[in-house]
Structure 1
C-alpha cells in the first residue's frame, strides 16, 4: 500500500489511456483524460488555497462531475468531503460545520439546498465565515496547466471524509487514508473479484457519499483499471437500460434493491442476461429464498454478501459465491477479507477473544481501518483501542471462521442501506409540544432490512396523530429516517427497568414487533 490515488491516476493513464474510466449521465472520461483533468483541477485547487489535509466539500450525485472532483481533490492533497444530498438543510449545515471546510463544489441542482444550509450557518453566532461555493461551470474554470501534478502527501495521509453516525445521533466524519482505500480495493479485487475480470464494467448504484460507493466500488474499479458506470437514479427500468446499453457486468446494491429488481423481472431482461455476471450485496437481510431466486434467474452470475462499516474502510467480511447456497452458511456474513483481521472480543471488556459459538463484539484491525474521526480525538480513542477498531456490533463465529451477525450494541437501525440513529429521531420528537416521551426502535423488515418505528406518549391534554408527527419530522430530518409506523401508549404503560429506564426490547415484545 505504497501508492496514493494520485499514483493510480498516473499509472492507469500510462497503461490504458483510451479505456473509459467513468461513464455517467453527464459524459464519458477515459483514464488518460481523467488523469489530465485531475491534475488540472488539483493545480487549480492548490492555487485557490487548498493545502495538504484541507477539506473540500462536494454536494453531488453519482456523476462524472463528482468522480472527477474526487480525483482532483485527491491529487491536490485535500480531503474529499462527501455531503449527503438526502440530508435535510439542518443536517447539511451540521455536516459543513463538522468538516470545517472553506470550499464546496456543488452540482447546480443542489444549490438551493446548499444555500438553505448556509443560511442556517450564517444565523449561528458561532459561525465566523461561510465557505466559498463553486458550481460546475466555476469548477471547470479552476482547471489549469498540463501534465502530472506531483504529490504533496503520502499513502498515510487522508483521502476523504465519509459521514457516519454515533450512538448519540451526532454526525461524525470518518477519515479514510489513501492507504486504507488501496487496501480495501486489494481486498475486493483479490477476494471478491471486483474488477478482476478483463471485461468488467462496474455499475455504481450506491451513492458517492457512502463508503460502499466511493471506496468499495469507484476506487476498486479505478485501482483495477476498469470502468465505473455511475447511475444517478435507481429504479428497475433505469437498471436494465444502463446494463444493456453500457454492458455492465457487476454491481453492489442492498438486498431490498435486489428484491425490487427480481419482483420487476429486471434480471430476466435480455441485456442483463447477456452482460451481468456478479451481484454484490449487504447492509440488510438476505436469506436463502432470495439467493436461490436470483441464481435461478441468472444461473451464470455470481452472488456475494458482505459486512462492513465506514470506520473499517469499509469492508470486513464476505460470503463468497461458492458458499452462498450452503445452508450451513445461510445468515452468515462470511469470513474476513485477506488484508483484514476480525476478532470477537468478550463483552466483559477484559480483552479475551471468545470461543466459537460465543457472542462477542466484532473488532477489526488492518491497513483498511480509518485514521480516526475528523477533529474528534476522544471519540477516536474510544473506538480504536490497543490497535483494534471496536465496531459495537455483536456476532458469533463458528469453527470454520464464518461470522454470524446478531445485533448492535448501539441504538442504530440500518434501513434500506442507510444508518438511522434512534436518539437523533427522539431528540427531534421532543421538540413537538404534544410529545412527552418517544421510543424509536428497529423492527426486522424483508423489504428494508430493518424498519423504523416509534412509540409515543402524549402530554396530558395534548393530542396529535402519526401523520402530523411525520410531517413535523420531515421538516428536520431526511425522509428515510422518518418512522414508518407510529404507535401511541400512555407513559404509565411503558415497560421500565428498576432504575426507571425504558426497556425497548420489552416494549417491542408487548407490541408484537419481534
Structure 2
C-alpha cells in the first residue's frame, strides 16, 4: 500500500546554509540569555549567547588565513573531511555548528571505537583533519599514522595537549586578534553537511550522507510536529531541562542536543557518557523535565534497585528511540513518572536524517490523532511510505511487510559504497530493512528487522514476537531477552529460534533451570509449534547492545555457532 503523512506539508528546503536556521531566526531575538548547557561533572554553565559567540569565533578561526592567526581550512568547494572523536561536551556542539557554517563536512566518529572500528571509520570517511578529546588522543594517533593523517592536522577538543592546537585556543586567538568575522558560507541543497555511521548491527558500519537540504527539511518536520502538539498540549511554563547523555556522534544525540536544542530555549545537563548513578542524582538535582531515552536505558532505569526512592516528580515527558521499545517496558517507565507526564516513541534511522514516524497525542490533527501504546506512530510531515511484500508487491492494511520511505529528509546515499546504495535506495525509495504493519488509520506497528526474520519450515517467524511472549510471563522471570536464528534446522541453511534471557529478581530466586523450564512451557501454551525456540533457551548475565541501544544479536549468535561447531565436530 501507499501512504502519505497526515501532517501538514513542510515548506520546501531553501538552498541556504542550515546555520541561518539555527542562529539567524527572528524569534531568537526575543529569547532570554538562558543557560543552554550545564556540565554535570563541573557544574560549569554556558548561556545561549556564549555558545553562539563561540560558534562565531570558531568559524572565524577556521576561515581566516594562516598569516592572520587563523587555521584556514574548509569552506565551500573544498575537499576537506573533518573527523570528530569525542564524548559529549558543550564544545562538541560548538564545533559541529562552526563546521556547518563553514560548509565543511564532518564525520562523526565514536570515541568508544575499537582499533579495528576506528581504522574502518578513518579509511571510509577519508578524514583530512581530526578533532579529538585528550583522553582518546593516543588511540587516535596510532590509527592516524596507519592511514597517513598528518599529526599537524590533529587538533584537541575539550582541553589542551602540549604540541597540538585546540578548538578553544583557535577561538581565543580569533577573538583576541579581532579577526574580521567570517560569515556562513553559501551552499546548495545537496551540499554535504556530515557523515554519520550506521549502527553496524550486521557487517561493517556504513557512512550515511546528510546534506544541508536534508537537515533543513528535517528541522521543519520537527517544527510542524511541535506546532500540532501544542494545539492540545501547550508547552509548560519555564525553560525545559533535558538530560543529555546520548552520544552526540549518533543521529539521536546529535539532533536532540546539537540541533533541536536551538528550536526553543531549553537547558541541557551534559553528561560525557551514560552513567546511571550520575543520572539518578542529576534528575532531582536539576529538576529534569525531559528524558530522551533508548530502550536499554529504560530497562536499566525500571530495574534499578533504588529507582523507587528517586524523585522523578519533575519529569514531564519521556521519549524513546533508536530501537524498539516493548510495551511492557513503556508501561513500567510510565508508572515511575507523574500521572500527567507523557511517554512517546517513534521510529527513525540515520538514512532519514533522524526520524520517519512519531507518536501523536490524542485529539491532534483535527481529532484524528491518537496516542496508541505499542504503535510507532504516523509518518512525519512530508513523508511517503509503502509496505512491500517479499515478492515486491504491495501489502494490504494490517499485513506485515518491509517499510519503504520517500521524502526530502531521506539521505542521498552512503559515502563511497555503491553496492549498498543500489541495494538500499531504489527508484527514489529508501528500503529500510524493517518490517511494519499499518492499520486503516495510518498508524504503524513495528514487527521486526527484515534480516532478523526467520523461515522455519518455509514459514516466517518473528524474533520480536517470541521475545514479547517471554517478557509477559506472569511470574516476571526475566528482565531482558533476545531471540535470533541459529544452526540446527532440518536443512543446513535453515535457522531455528534460540533465546538468550537475563533473569529478573524473581527469576534468580527460582533458579536458571526452573526458569528455562517455565519459559518453555509458557511458549508452548502461547506460540504455534514452529515458533518454539528449538535452538534452546540460555541464561546470560546481559544482552549485548550498541551504545544506542540496538541489540547485537550477532555477538550471541557467533558465540553459539562456534560452540555448536565444536560439539558437532566431536560427534
Q: Same fold (TM over 0.5)?
A: yes
Aligned-partner Cα distance in 2 for 1:379–1:185: 27
Tell me by how many angstroms 1:315 deviates: 0.9
Whether the 8 Å contact between 1:203 and 1:251 is mirrored in structure 2 is: yes
Aligned-partner Cα distance in 2 for 1:16–1:169: 46
TM-score, normalised to structure 1, is: 0.74
Tell me by how many angstroms 1:291 deviates: 2.7
Matched, 1:28 2:45: yes
Counterpart of 1:142 in structure 2 is 170
1:121-160 deviation digits (Å, cap 9, x = unpaired): 25xxxx5867711113322222223646232324542222
2:196 corresponds, among 145, 162, 165, to 162
Counterpart of 1:238 in structure 2 is 278
Unaligned 5+ segments in structure 2 are 1-12, 64-70, 161-165, 364-368, 454-462, 468-481, 485-492, 504-550
Matched, 1:84 2:123: no
Whether the 8 Å contact between 1:9 and 1:34 is mirrored in structure 2 is: no
Unaligned 5+ segments in structure 1 are 423-436, 448-478, 495-514
Alignment of 1:85-484 (within 5 A): 85-119=111-145, 121-122=146-147, 127=148, 132-136=153-157, 137=160, 138-143=166-171, 144=174, 145=179, 147=181, 149-164=183-198, 169-191=203-225, 199-264=239-304, 271-273=311-313, 275-298=314-337, 299-320=339-360, 322=362, 329-349=372-392, 352-410=393-451, 483-484=555-556
Paired residues, what number?
438
Structure-2 change in CA distance of 1:31 and 1:354 (3 Å): same
1:355-403 deviation digits (Å, cap 9, x = unpaired): 1122221111112211321233453343222221111212221212222
1:50-92 deviation digits (Å, cap 9, x = unpaired): 2336321111111112111111111111113111112101211
The structure with the greater share of residues assigned to strand is 1
Structure-2 change in CA distance of 1:293 and 1:409 (3 Å): closer
Between Structure 1 and Structure 2, whose CA radius of gyration is higher? 2
Structure-2 change in CA distance of 1:408 and 1:219 (3 Å): same
Q: What SS is found at the alignment partner of 1:105?
A: strand
Which structure's relative contact order is higher, taking Cα pairs within 8 Å and 6+ residues apart?
Answer: 2
1:320-362 deviation digits (Å, cap 9, x = unpaired): 4549xx999453322212233232123223xx43211222211
Aligned-partner Cα distance in 1 for 2:429–2:439: 21
Whether the 8 Å contact between 2:190 and 2:211 is mirrored in structure 1 is: yes
Tell me by how many angstroms 1:254 deviates: 1.3
Aligned-partner Cα distance in 2 for 1:368–1:169: 25
Aligned-partner Cα distance in 1 for 2:55–2:190: 20
Aligned-partner Cα distance in 2 for 1:204–1:222: 14
TM-score, normalised to structure 2, is: 0.67
Aligned-partner Cα distance in 2 for 1:204–1:445: 30
The 10-residue stretch of structure 1 (212-221 or 264-273) with the greater mean CA deviation from structure 2: 264-273
Q: What SS is found at the alignment partner of 2:24?
A: helix
| CA-based RMSD | 4.0
Aligned-partner Cα distance in 2 for 1:30–1:293: 36
